[in-house]
Structure 1
Amino acid sequence: MKQLTHNRTGLKGNLLVPGDKSISHRSIMFGAIANGTTTVTNFLMGQDCLCTIACFRKLGVSIEEEAHQIIIEGKGFEGLQEPTDVLDVGNSGTTIRLLLGILAGRPFHATLIGDHSIGKRPMTRVTVPLAKMGAKIDGRQNGEFTPLSIRGGELSGMNYSLPVASAQVKSSLLFAGLQGKGKTTLVEKEKTRDHTERMIKQFGGQITEDGLTIHIEGGQSLKGTSIQVPGDISSAAFFLVAAAIVPDSEITLKNVGLNPTRTGILEVLEQMGANMEIIPTDADSCEPVGDIVIRYSKLTATTIQGEIIPKLIDELPIIALLATAAEGKTIIRDAQELKVKETNRIDTVVHELKKLGANIEATEDGMIIRGGQGLHGANVSSHGDHRIGMMLAIASLVSNEPVYLEGEEAISVSYPTFFADLQQIMK
């Protein structure tokens, strides 16, 4: 159990947050299925992304680290080989769902497993449409849960309306669509993060987007390229909130990804009255990037709902903490997807913040937080969820008593240097 620093003032300094987790995952996957060499700079060396590397090595792909770059020698879809061992995705939902889309078109068998958390996450949202395209997939409860067994083969394009707003499901079907015969058309419920669409273009592929409708032709061949991974805005979010709620703070976060499908946290901070400046910068990347300067300020409550939810789904735990420092009642709605993350994040956030004295309650699709009342010390737990762990560490900064965190090792999934970076701005 780790004792966390509490009741801080004056967080100061510049931070370069780790590379974007979503883009790091996809860089390995696209590099593996492209022809030729792909180099990746600022790759996130977190446990989730290392699981993706391990899985593709088992599929016969050469992936090496040289001079702070990841070098991938891709041989196209056809170069992937049947694994002789199970593919262990660890704690990574992105790895398993997107990998299923790639394996769906490969004429061999593979078995995918993960940790206890992955074993509880729903997979039929991916396996059912992939089966409609022609893949043979089975698993516990008719393919709902891991372990999953997949035998890929010849796929056919299809028209499909996604029943949930999920970039993982969309991306999995786009990987399958790249291998299918004919055109695949996907219709989203709401716009979700578009890193896969951008990367298809970066690797020389063709994809058409019209509002919420996406078209992709099968049989495409991709070409290796160079990728500069921007800083992860989901990781930056913890320090954005820290500076906003800890008195006398000013932090600059450098080279942060500003993809408009991911910047919901910035919109919420603006709605609450945060003192923030966004400075776009030029970078060798297909993703927009910039620096964010944020200072402590008085905050007011807001309502978070509707189409913004997919743009900040991973940030909602830290936004809940942000709301405890805002005057008034903050309402979060339409966030049912929080229930099927690494934990049921609605229940877990409410349970842990209540321990610290927050006035917060769970609803069927979100939370209600009454802010401005302060936090106190307690023994808290990450429940094995990296984002819950980081949220509680930031909460300790505004607690008037010590906070003790159980399960801090979960944070390494997405942010191995989190505590070192936190110490850097506390000096």
Structure 2
Amino acid sequence: MHINIQRLWDDLSSTAQFGKVQETGLTRLTFDQSDKKIREWFTTTCRNLGGIVRTDRVGNQYARFFSLNDQQSTILVGSHLDTQPNGGRFDGILGVLAGIEVIRTFMDKQHTLKHAIEIINWTNEEGARFYPPMMGSAYACGHLDLNTVLQSKDKDGYLLRNVSEGFRSDSDVLTTIKPSCYLELHIEQGPVLEKEKINIGVVTSITGISWFSIRFFGKARHAGTTPLNYRNDAFIKAAKFTIEFQKYLIENSDNIIGTIGKIENIPNTPNTVPEETILYIDVRSANEEYLNNVASVIEKIIRLKLRVNDFEVKKISSISPTNFSSLLISTIDKSIQEIGLTGRHIVSGAGHDALQLAKQIPTGMIFVPCEDGISHNVNENILKEYAENGANSLLKTILNLDETIDEYYN
């Protein structure tokens, strides 16, 4: 049994019109007009296939198929339809649309499943408009409270509560069904699979993620009248730290990766010595010990190597490393072997909704290559065969889980 790749590819192409940027990009932010259009497309498409479509209190969309009753054990399949600003056409979207194509294939073949299938579009996975990311799945799994979600504001001051009216309900869904496992198909967003010419990545875990801010203090002085040796320049301190921190990351590259992706300079004018510079750091590791030591490493670099004492380090957020179910990993391994694809185990350096689900139920992820490892970019791209391999792997894994998942609970 195989999916119809042309049908899936047509869906990927047609839905890319909702929020199209340039020729190949997307800007589809949570509950903007383009996001609302694709949500309506999702509802219409799934209902036309006979699905029961519901939303929950934060706008997560659930489309239920092959359900005999509400108590029937369910295989969850999902991802997200929102994007980054000037993002790509496949990040998240592939997982939802491939799930719909799998449903069509089962219907074409008149295949009867033992389990219901729930296709899910999670709200605000990207966190590009509202904070935090993975918002919808975190709420559904009980890791985020409703008020935090509904009171979240975008940069223009709009509340999620207000912009989502008509696209959420007054009830929850995940708590009313009986989920047996969760599967998510996604592009790798990195270069490994393509470089190694591997068809499928079987994700074993998601790295932990910690965000820090480091505030360096100096003194504002006139840039034209203050000699260098009389300056207390906050930016120079931050620059020196950046070099030393990069050295640490290189020395420990097998265990940790880090990025200084945002800088604030105060007062941020060309003719004034900076009195404050703030660095924002994203640090990721599958080793929780390394994540727990990051704050200490930062302080040691600043105090011992820079010999600076006027600074402030704050941890903004932290997510522990998450391991996926050995049952799901072995089932995906078996499935890709059965359909003749090559695979390798891989750790995800990006966060996904699967991270939230893995804390509750057996969870697994399937990666497909993306060209040059580019993602969160209008040039994000995959080959048609990558989509086909991924969707067929998803289909075969569902078939195998349909036969075996109940044994996990018995």
Superposition TM-score, scaled by structure 1 size:
0.25
Which is greater in Rg? 2
Considering Cα pairs closer than 8 Å and 6+ residues apart, tell me whether 1 or 2 has the greater RCO: 2
